[in-house]
Structure 1
Amino acid sequence: MPEPVQQEMERLLTDAFSPTSLQVINDSAKHSGHSGDDGSGESHFTVVIEAPVFADKSRLERQRMVNAALGDIPGDRVHALAIQASAPTP
């Protein structure tokens, strides 16, 4: 049985960034019946991630890093992905 998308995203992000904080929130139920809802219950997610590697990176750079770490998940296997990426505050 394949790994649930939420767990796969958590694993990929943890491996890529060693975050100090990570939440992968499944928002799919809020979008049931809307465009992009494929009925899988895994179509819409929010990622809230904090990692030292994001220091001195722009918001766009951080989002690109997260998308790259997730491979084919955004846009292919997941319809919508909101990303809140930050560096820890000293």
Structure 2
Amino acid sequence: MVFSACVQKQHSKIDEVREVVFVSTYEECPRSANPILKAVLEEKHIGSSENVDRLMFNIVELKGGLKAMNATINCYEKQAEKKVTK
């Protein structure tokens, strides 16, 4: 017994290949410099007043750095929102 069949390939959207080029420009947002942190004094106990002062200084610097990074992210997000809503 011999079976034969002629099958016509159906055209589907998967078969279509489209090249999509997306070009977008953004204004560069301000970027702060990395905070310069003070190292703890190895010859002193971690809880010494000198090291506690250094650690507190570092906390303040890191907090300021995080605020600056968030401002940069918000700047880019605002630009992206403007482009999406157009």
Q: Give the TM-score normalised by the residue count of structure 1.
A: 0.23
Name the structure where helix makes up a greater proportion of residues. 2
